[in-house]
């Protein structure tokens, strides 16, 4: 099945040195091979800096080969899945590329996962080995007998590579007594294996990664990313944005596709330096800018708000900041103006796990407030009638946004029906977002075909939250929606109908506390409202749109 993309009217805005996708030669080597090339090319240049501890490119390469050797000793072969459950740290980066070095498939997981989420991700992916923070081992331990595919667990500490005298403030909790992890393998023992002598031969169509993304009909889906997808995105970033002399501030979570591509994959291809923060703190980020002369910092809206609004922001030099892409939610005009006053034009972007991050991006020279920008170099799009896959909407009219690119995933892991629905033809993905395109080629988001909630830059789907809520014996029915929040963009709110025998025996606050233990911090409902019944349509389907309308009316908004 073939679909004709619309004319690339946006290319008239590209600057003369902007590389077009058709002009790029991709080659046949996966990025892990480029890492080896760069290690011999840059040798003693810093590749990774972690609160003052530096790893040269040579040391970086050696750690990757050691991890690969450790995985081989644990029996990991090409095609096996390796789960990574860590906050930002050098070990995450070493493990990611070490898995690729032997042809294993990386499964990045959120360190915020609770028992239910971790159990699902491990079982769905069939992970063979888990590499995780020792502080999270208790989560795995609680479900260890329910994940039969896992044959080995490696634990490490966020403080493992901290220097004696850190150059930046270290987050609370990183330097702590290592908790007992019975049955797990310590990181230093793991990397003591003989390093591999050569990389596993890989084809660009071999699976590289399963990037789990929330779905509209229940549990998350693993977007299948092949080595071509990752290589292509790194090439386009590096040709058109990233540079060999970039100093990247990796404060976005590296398990998240945006942080991963912007501050781990792209620098490995281009040869830049990665300054790793375990987690984002605005003052620490400001100090990092000044000390390391940061040139590239890709963030979500809430991070940019916190950075520029910090009471000490004016005391730090941000003049080296060159590449400043952002996303997650629109940036308030008042905050945008503060950056304008510093000569910084934050460029907003749009992407998803299924497209390996950014596919539409504002160019600082060409920004239309409210627009998500122009399709990225090499990207094709369609604005499609949601009721007819073959009908394109006229210019300026709304329809579902479809994207075509070399970076588009090849499907969903073990989900053929979802794959057929979301990937209608090779290279095409239906985003589920309603958009329009104007006469200049700028794309405008108009709503969500899928009922996604954007909380602190993370995608949350009501159906997944509801799946977990229904595990509580008190809940008869529930419905989840997003409600506006000044800082996080949106908060999750749940409407719950209690079973008759639970009425008066549990409070809304107690149910929130329970949900906090079941789901990630950005995902659990911050508020729960008890109802006698929920609005339903003629077929008995719960109507979230009515609940959203009621919330809007409470806030005095026009419906």
Taking only the tens place, the pLDDT of each residue in 163-189 is: 999 999 999 888 767 889 999 999 999
**Per-residue pLDDT at 20:** 61
Q: Which 3 state secondary structure label does DSSP give 141?
A: helix
Highest averaged pLDDT of the listed ranges 131-135, 396-400, 446-450, 458-462: 131-135
CB atoms within 10 A of CB 405: 24
Residue-averaged pLDDT of the chain: 91
Q: Quick one: pLDDT at residue 558?
A: 57
Strand partners for 458: 455
Mean pLDDT of 430-449: 87
Q: Which of 68-72, 260-264, 400-404, 469-473 comes out lowest in average pLDDT?
A: 469-473
pLDDT at residue 446 greater than cutoff 80? no
For residue 427, CA distances in Å to 2, 5, 43 come to 10, 12, 37
What is the structure's pLDDT at 538? 55
Residue 18 — very low, low, confident or very high, per pLDDT cuts 50/70/90?
A: low
| Count of other CB atoms within 10 angstroms of residue 151 | 13
Q: Reduce the DSSP state of residue 270 to 3 states and report it.
A: helix
Higher pLDDT, 2 or 483: 483
H or E element that contains 51: none
Average pLDDT of the segment spanning 294-310: 90
SS percent in the chain: helix, strand, coil, step 5: 30, 25, 45
Distances (CA, A) of 555 to 54, 423, 456, 549: 51, 38, 21, 10
pLDDT band at 195 (very low <50, low <70, confident <90, very high): very high
The closest of 149, 97, 162, 90 to 140, measured between CA atoms, is 149
Q: Are 88 and 277 in contact (CB under 8 A)?
A: yes
530 φ/ψ sector (left φ>0, alpha ψ -120 to 50, else beta): beta
For residue 22, the number of C-alpha atoms closer than 13 Å in the C-beta half-sphere is 3
Percent of the chain scored above 90 by pLDDT?
A: 67
The answer for residues whose C-beta is within 8 angstroms of residue 148's C-beta and 6 or more apart is: none
Range 285-290 average pLDDT: 98
The C-alpha atoms of residue 116 and residue 370 are separated, in whole angstroms, by 37
CB 350 within 8 A of CB 327: yes
With cut-offs at 50, 70 and 90, classify the pLDDT of residue 157.
very high
Using H for helix, E for strand and C for coil, what is the string for 193-227? CCCCCCCCCCCCCCEEEEEEEEECCEEEEEEEEEH
Report all structural domains of the chain as residue ranges with CATH numbers, in order of start: 453-554 (3.30.300.30)
* Mean pLDDT, rounded, for 499-521: 93
Other beta carbons less than 10 A from residue 79's beta carbon = 12
Position 62 scores a pLDDT of 98
H-run or E-run covering 82 = strand 81-85
Q: Looking at per-residue confidence, does 546 or 557 come out higher?
A: 546
- Which has more confidence, 337 or 244? 244
Least confident of 360-364, 365-369, 419-423, 520-524: 365-369
pLDDT band at 445 (very low <50, low <70, confident <90, very high): confident
Q: What is the pLDDT of residues 348-398, one digit of tens each?
A: 889 999 999 999 988 767 778 778 899 988 899 999 998 899 999 999 988
pLDDT band for 271, please (50, 70, 90 cuts). Answer: very high
């Amino acid at each position: 099945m073939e679909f004709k993309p619309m004319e690339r009217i946006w290319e008239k805005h590209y600057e003369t040195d902007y590389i077009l996708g058709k002009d790029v030669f991709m080659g046949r080597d996966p990025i892990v091979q480029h890492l080896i090339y760069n290690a011999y090319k840059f040798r003693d240049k810093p590749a990774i800096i972690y609160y003052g501890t530096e790893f040269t490119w040579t040391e970086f390469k050696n750690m990757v080969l050691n991890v690969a050797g450790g995985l081989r000793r644990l029996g990991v072969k090409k095609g096996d899945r390796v789960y990574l459950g860590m906050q930002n740290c050098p070990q995450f980066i070493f493990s990611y590329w070490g898995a690729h070095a032997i042809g294993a498939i990386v499964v990045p997981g959120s360190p915020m996962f609770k028992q239910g989420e971790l159990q699902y991700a491990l079982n769905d992916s069939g992970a063979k080995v888990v590499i995780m923070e020792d502080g999270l081992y208790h989560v795995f331990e609680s479900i260890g007998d329910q994940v039969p595919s896992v044959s080995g667990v490696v634990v490490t500490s966020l403080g493992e590579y901290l220097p004696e005298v850190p150059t930046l403030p270290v987050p609370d909790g990183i330097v702590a007594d290592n908790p007992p992890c019975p049955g797990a393998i310590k990181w230093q023992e793991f990397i003591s294996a003989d390093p591999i002598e050569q990389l596993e031969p890989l084809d660009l169509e071999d699976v590289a990664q399963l990037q789990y993304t929330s779905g509209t009909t229940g549990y998350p889906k693993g977007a299948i990313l092949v080595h071509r997808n990752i290589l292509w995105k790194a090439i386009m970033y590096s040709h058109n944005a990233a540079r060999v002399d970039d100093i990247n501030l990796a404060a976005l979570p590296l398990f998240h596709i945006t942080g991963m591509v912007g501050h781990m994959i792209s620098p490995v291809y281009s040869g830049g330096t990665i300054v790793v923060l375990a987690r984002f703190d605005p003052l620490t980020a400001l100090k990092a800018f000044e000390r390391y002369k940061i040139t590239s910092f890709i963030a979500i809206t809430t991070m940019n708000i916190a950075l520029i609004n910090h009471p000490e922001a004016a005391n730090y030099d941000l003049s080296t900041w060159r590449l400043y892409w952002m996303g997650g939610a629109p940036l308030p005009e008042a905050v945008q103006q503060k950056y304008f006053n510093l000569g910084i034009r934050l460029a907003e972007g749009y992407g998803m796990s299924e497209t390996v991050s950014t596919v539409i991006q504002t160019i600082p020279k060409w920004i239309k407030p409210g627009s998500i920008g122009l399709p990225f170099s090499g990207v094709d799009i369609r604005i499609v009638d949601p009721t007819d896959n073959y009908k394109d909407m006229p210019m300026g009219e709304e329809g579902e946004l479809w994207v075509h690119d070399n970076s588009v995933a090849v499907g969903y892991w073990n989900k053929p029906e979802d794959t057929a629905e979301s990937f209608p033809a090779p290279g095409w993905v239906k985003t589920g977002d309603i958009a329009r395109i104007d006469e200049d080629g700028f794309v405008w988001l108009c709503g969500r075909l899928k009922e996604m909630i954007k909380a602190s830059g993370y995608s949350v789907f009501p159906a997944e939250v509801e799946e977990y809520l229904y595990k509580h014996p008190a809940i008869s029915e529930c419905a989840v929606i997003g409600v506006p929040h000044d800082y996080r963009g949106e908060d999750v709110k749940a409407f719950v109908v209690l079973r008759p025998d639970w009425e008066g025996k549990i409070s809304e606050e107690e149910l929130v506390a329970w949900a906090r233990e079941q789901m990630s911090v950005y995902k659990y409902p911050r508020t729960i409202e008890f109802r006698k019944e929920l609005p339903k349509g003629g077929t008995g389907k719960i109507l979230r749109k009515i609940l959203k309308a009621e919330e809007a009316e409470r806030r005095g908004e026009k419906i």
